[in-house]
Amino acid sequence: MQEDGAARAAGDAAAMGGSRDAVDVQEVDDPEQDQFEDAVDTSGSGTDAIGCAFRDMAEAARSWTLDGALRDNAEIERSQVNALRSWCQESEILPDIAEPLLVAFLHCSRGDLEQAKAVVRVYESVRSKTPEVFADRSFHSEEVQRAKGVGYFCVLPNKTPEGYRVIVQALRDPDPTVFVYSSSSKAQFLTMDAVVRAEPTAPGYVCVFDMNAVQMSHMWAWGIRLPRKVFRYLQEGLPLRMQRIHFLNTTPLMDRVMRMLRPFIRKELQSIFQFHTADDMENLYKMIPQDCLPENYGGFLPPLEKLQDYTDKFLAEMNNMIPT
């Protein structure tokens, strides 16, 4: 039987001492693999760049100083921080508010003190009146861990070209009988609070909601009272700059979902919604490059399951710094 030419050449090389130079082995470049490796290891050093990115976020929270925040954000002045702190104490609205959160309120309001006060009012009002979402929020709690067994709540390590932080929420278990909206919201806002604490002056945030496997049964689990509070908080009390909200893998069901949500959603929020069907991902990549997305959506980052592991380690580190 005639030997394969490549095999014979490899055998000759082995006989000559195994020198790689003895055989002209042609390697095939795989652009997608190269992009995946670049997304995972942006340093090019073979280190766990994703783990480093999350550790850097936690370290940024630990080492945060007001002087540093003011130095890096010209639109916020120390006098505004002091004025907002005094107002919180005198009005007994968040009297023990931490400085990073004061700065986050001013940052999301673009330095407008009165607007920051309005955000604080809604923040405190909704959180104090919605204990099913905002009380007992330890990352290690049974409820949060159970919610994470049902859904993904992932912070992505790579930012968009504009510097926006991306957060992805998706179903992990599609069974609607195990979905609890209050618990899901608790895990969602716990994750967002952790990122805001680490990056109170981030230029913006992008949320991605994967509608794959979402059924009307999930929507019925929402009820009416809680979504009204959650969307008020999302629109008026969240101390961050929400830039875009993407809904992926949408189906005709999305029209029914939007009809249910429309009474709770202002036009300003609706204006940043983007909808993508399963075959419309190229349009998503124009706004969130593939090196910022997990492989579940054609991106070059690891899958959601792995990114959730990284997020969980980050949340565990942040647990004592997250506002309660």
Task: Give the pLDDT confidence of 177-191 residue by residue, as tens digits.
Answer: 999 999 999 999 999
Task: Give the pLDDT confidence of 211-250 residue by residue, as tens digits.
Answer: 999 988 888 777 778 999 999 999 999 999 999 999 999 9
User: In angstroms, rounded to a whole number, what is the distance separating the alpha carbons of residues 285 and 293?
Assistant: 9
- What does the pLDDT read at residue 40? 53
Query: How big is the chain by its Cα radius of gyration, in Å?
Result: 24
List, as one string, the DSSP characters of 262-281: GGG--HHHHTTEEE--TT-H
Task: Give the pLDDT confidence of 4-17 residue by residue, as tens digits.
Answer: 444 444 444 333 33
Nearest to 80 by CA among 44, 111, 58: 111
DSSP summary character for residue 224: S
Strand segments, DSSP code E, in the chain are 151-155, 165-171, 205-210, 242-248, 273-275
Task: Give the pLDDT confidence of 114-158 residue by residue, as tens digits.
Answer: 999 999 999 999 999 999 999 999 999 999 999 999 999 999 999
- What does the pLDDT read at residue 229? 94
Residue 261 has pLDDT above 80, yes or no: yes
Q: Are 202 and 173 in contact (CB under 8 A)?
A: no
pTM for this one? 0.84
Confidence tier at 30 by pLDDT (50, 70, 90): low
Q: Are 206 and 288 in contact (CB under 8 A)?
A: yes
Nearest to 207 by CA among 244, 175, 235: 244
Q: Are 88 and 202 in contact (CB under 8 A)?
A: no
List, as one string, the DSSP characters of 143-169: HHHHHHHHEEEEE-SSPPTT--EEEEE
Confidence tier at 47 by pLDDT (50, 70, 90): low
